[in-house]
C-alpha cells in the first residue's frame, strides 16, 4: 500500500497530501482570476499532485485591413423616389444630394442644412432607413458626408449658389 501511495500521490489520503493539494488548488485559482491558468490546468491538479503549468496566452494579431472603399450608390434615385411618396420634406431636402456606400453604411452628401435638422426629428431617420431597405433589401446605417473644400462644384453658377448658401442667403429653387 505504501508503494502505491509513493507511485500515485493522488491516492495518498493523509493530511499532508490533502494540504498540499489544497495549496496547489488555491494557487491555481489565483492564476485563473488573472487569466494565467486554464480550467484544464485546474482539472489536472485534481488528478495529479504535481504543480500546474500556466496556460499560454494566445496572441491575437490586430486586424490591419484597410477600411472598405466608398462606392457610389447607383440606386440613390430610387431611394429618393420612395421618399417622395413617404416623406416629402425629407425628399425636398435631399433633392440635389448624392450618396455612397461603405460596407453597411450609406453616406449621404447633401448641401441642405435642412436635411441635417430633419433627419434628427421625429422618425425621419427611420423613414429614410426604410426607403433604403426597400431598394437594397438590407438594413443600412446612415451617415452624413461632409462637403470639403476640394469638393466645391466646378460650375460657376453652382459655386455662386453654394457660396450664397454658406453665407446664409435663403435660396429657393424651382
Does the model's pTM come out above 0.85? no
Q: Copy the grid coordinates of residue 32.
A: 485563473
- Of 100, 91, 98, 74, the closest CA to residue 127 belongs to 91
- Of 71, 118, 125, the closest CA to residue 99 belongs to 71
Q: Distance (Å, rounded) from C-alpha 41 to C-alpha 69? A: 46
Low-confidence stretches of the chain (pLDDT beneath 70) = 1-12, 30-67, 147-156, 174
Instruction: Tell me the per-residue pLDDT of 12-24, one tens digit each, with 9 for 90 and over.
Output: 677 777 788 788 7
Q: Distance (Å, rounded) from C-alpha 52 to C-alpha 46? A: 10
The per-residue pLDDT for 4 is: 56
Query: Which contiguous run of DSSP H or E holds residue 132?
Result: helix 124-136
Amino acid at each position: 500500500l505504501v508503494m502505491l501511495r509513493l507511485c500515485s500521490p493522488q491516492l495518498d489520503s493523509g493530511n499532508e497530501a490533502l494540504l498540499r493539494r489544497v495549496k496547489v488548488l488555491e494557487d491555481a485559482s489565483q492564476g485563473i482570476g488573472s487569466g494565467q491558468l486554464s480550467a484544464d490546468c485546474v482539472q489536472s491538479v485534481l488528478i495529479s499532485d504535481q504543480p500546474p503549468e500556466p496556460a499560454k496566452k494566445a496572441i491575437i494579431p490586430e486586424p490591419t485591413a484597410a477600411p472598405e472603399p466608398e462606392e457610389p450608390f447607383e440606386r440613390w434615385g430610387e431611394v429618393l423616389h420612395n421618399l417622395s411618396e413617404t416623406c416629402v420634406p425629407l425628399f425636398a431636402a435631399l433633392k440635389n444630394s448624392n450618396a455612397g456606400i461603405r460596407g453597411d453604411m450609406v453616406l449621404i452628401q447633401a448641401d441642405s442644412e435642412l436635411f441635417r435638422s430633419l433627419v434628427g426629428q421625429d422618425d425621419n431617420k427611420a423613414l429614410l432607413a426604410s426607403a433604403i431597405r426597400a431598394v437594397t433589401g438590407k438594413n443600412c446605417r446612415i451617415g452624413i458626408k461632409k462637403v470639403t473644400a476640394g469638393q466645391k462644384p466646378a460650375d460657376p453658377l453652382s459655386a455662386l449658389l453654394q457660396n450664397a448658401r454658406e453665407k446664409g442667403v435663403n435660396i429657393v429653387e424651382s
